[in-house]
């Protein structure tokens, strides 16, 4: 599979890399992360995006299936697999990005989830002993966290939703809108998980009201 076939493929890939960095700097203030740490997380996640890209070219992967469907134009808007086909189609069929570009686009969703996850971990370990803060950082930088959330597919969006939901749950009273966004994003790719998220929120609200 050719990664760069036209000048636009190259230019759009560069735009997506720069755009991802700008999105990172935008959201790092939301999740209260230092700029250097946020950019480090972006670079780390993008590195594993390239690893997954190489893996998908040399092995059977869902990412290639989504890309092929997007190129064929045979997709529609519906929750689940069809939504991933639809979203990939926007990037590939309408914007004309390459396989590499589509990976970099989905990488941005995963990065948002990683930033939110790191923000939540830093918040819950603030003021704790150094070893707990180091453990939290180690978990955030686990390769498996960034590998699976960096490719074309459901995982990048569901990880974004899970990360934002975790961060929002730490102060739900003031972060209800991000939580709604997280549930909606999860619904688009994994409706059944979104249903469990809603049930968990209802259960937590009932417990708090009875406390």
Do 179 and 165 meet the contact criterion of CB atoms below 8 Å apart?
yes
Strand extents, DSSP E, 53-142: none
Q: What percent of the chain has pLDDT over 90?
A: 88
User: Is the pLDDT score of 211 beyond 60?
Assistant: no
Who's near 21: CB < 8 A, 6+ residues apart?
Answer: 39, 42
Take residue 210 and report the two structure tokens written for it.
């009875």
Q: Residue 64 CA to chain centroid, in angstroms?
A: 18
Q: What is the pLDDT of residues 26-37, one digit of tens each?
A: 999 999 999 999
Average model confidence (pLDDT) across the chain: 94
Tens-digit pLDDT profile for residues 62-74: 999 999 999 998 8
149-173 residue pLDDT tens = 999 999 999 999 999 999 999 998 8
DSSP code of 108?
H
pTM here is: 0.94
Check residue 205 and give its pLDDT.
78
- What average pLDDT score do residues 27-53 get? 97
Residue range 176-191, pLDDT digits in tens: 999 999 999 999 999 9
């Amino acid at each position: 599979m050719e990664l760069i076939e036209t000048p636009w493929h190259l230019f759009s890939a560069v735009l997506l890399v720069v755009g991802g960095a700008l999105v990172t700097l935008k959201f790092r203030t939301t999740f209260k992360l230092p700029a250097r740490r946020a950019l480090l997380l972006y670079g780390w996640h993008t590195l594993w995006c390239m690893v997954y890209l190489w893996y998908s070219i040399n092995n059977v992967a869902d990412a290639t299936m989504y890309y092929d469907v997007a190129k064929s134009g045979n997709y529609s808007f519906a929750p689940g697999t069809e939504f991933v086909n639809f979203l990939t189609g926007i990037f590939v069929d309408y914007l004309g990005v390459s396989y590499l570009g589509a990976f970099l686009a989905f990488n941005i969703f995963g990065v948002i989830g990683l930033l939110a996850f790191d923000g939540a971990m830093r918040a819950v370990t603030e003021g704790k002993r150094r070893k707990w803060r180091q453990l939290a950082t180690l978990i955030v930088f686990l390769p498996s966290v960034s590998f699976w959330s960096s490719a074309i597919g459901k995982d990048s969006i569901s990880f974004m939703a899970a990360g934002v939901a975790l961060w929002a749950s730490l102060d739900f009273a003031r972060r209800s809108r991000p939580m709604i966004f997280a549930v909606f994003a999860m619904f688009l790719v994994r409706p059944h998980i979104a249903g469990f998220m809603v049930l968990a929120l209802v259960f937590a609200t009932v417990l708090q009201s009875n406390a």
